Amino acid sequence: MNNQITEPFWLTKSLQQLTQQEWESLCDGCGQCCLVKLTDDDTNKVYLTNVACKLLDTESCTCKDYQHRAERVSSCLLLSADKPELFNLLPETCAYRCLYEQRPLPEWHHLISKNKQAVHENGLSIREYAVSEEYIHPEQLEEHIIAEL
């Protein structure tokens, strides 16, 4: 009988080695990657707004058309292991960023806590403050900046 304890995949594989299912399971559902970012052309500084992509359901923090998001939203942040520069646009608590920076996943992360709602219960999702870009005129975006990245 084999009583060997298997290490979780995120502890034994690099981001490049993950299967598609493993990659997708890392997402905690915070929705922060779907917030509109503005870049200052003069300084190249990137600013985060509280404005969510039109495809993001701000209550569930899920994409309404995940399969076609890149075709429908040209600025969609398509994460992949071969684009590490994008991880800096993610929150410190994001599993992709944590693993890229060789840090552990937060204890509340659903892969550890087994609680998919933990991201919301800990106030780390956009659920409480995001507004859909459907309701914001593009000229108003600067008024919605909440942080510099």
Per-residue pLDDT of 5-51, as tens digits, reads 789 999 999 999 999 999 999 999 999 999 999 999 999 999 999 99
Query: Is 67 a domain residue?
Result: yes
Q: Let me know if residue 117 belongs to a domain.
A: yes
Q: Note whether residue 105 is domain-resident.
A: yes
Task: Give the pLDDT band of residue 4 (cuts 50, 70, 90).
Answer: confident
Tell me, yes or no, if the pTM score tops 0.85.
Answer: yes
Structural domain harbouring 106: 15-148
Residue 35 has phi, psi (to 5 degrees) of -80, 145
Tell whether 4 is covered by a domain.
no
Residue 1 resides in a domain? no
Cα separation, 33 vs 68, in Å, equals 16
- Is residue 2 one of the residues assigned to a domain? no
Whole-Å CA distances, 48 to 55, 69, 78, 113, 136 = 17, 20, 17, 28, 15
Is residue 3 a part of any domain in this protein? no
* H/E stretch holding 113: helix 110-113
Note the pLDDT tens digit of each residue in 69-119.
999 999 899 999 999 899 999 999 999 999 999 999 999 999 999 999 999
Domain assignment of residue 79, yes or no: yes
Write the single-letter amino acid at 86: L
Q: Looking at the 3D structure of the chain, how many domains does it have?
A: 1
